[in-house]
């Protein structure tokens, strides 16, 4: 079975406190849903159409279905509500290669 991934790029953050509260709730919810962080942080170098200072996360799941289910899980929904409009994100579910 192919792995599923969350690929998330933060285009902007307007509320650092909301982001911190979101992170405190999101990480345990993601891990409880079987997610494993592959990437979490800032780019070392930005090229082409990249945005300097943009936070990026890549999270691996057993499958795309598990990735989508995690997004809609009770714990992660709670985290998203806390983040509210504190950040603008490009959030994608991507299927991995075998």
CA nearest neighbour of 6 among 25, 34, 44? 34
- pLDDT tens string 26-57: 999 999 999 999 999 998 888 998 888 899 99
* Per-residue DSSP letter, 77: H
Which domains are present in the chain?
Answer: 4-95 (3.30.70.100)
List the alpha helices (DSSP H) in 15-86.
16-32, 64-71, 74-83
Looking at residue 41, its pLDDT comes to 94
Determine if the pTM surpasses 0.85: yes
């Amino acid at each position: 079975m192919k792995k599923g991934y969350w690929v998330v790029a933060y285009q902007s953050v307007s509320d650092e406190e909301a982001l911190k509260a979101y992170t405190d709730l999101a990480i345990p919810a993601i891990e409880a849903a079987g997610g494993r962080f592959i990437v979490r942080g800032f780019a070392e170098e930005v090229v082409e159409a990249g945005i300097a200072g943009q936070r990026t996360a890549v999270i691996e799941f057993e499958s795309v279905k598990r990735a989508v289910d995690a997004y809609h899980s009770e714990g992660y929904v709670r985290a998203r509500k806390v983040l509210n409009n504190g950040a603008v994100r490009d959030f994608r579910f991507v299927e991995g290669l075998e």
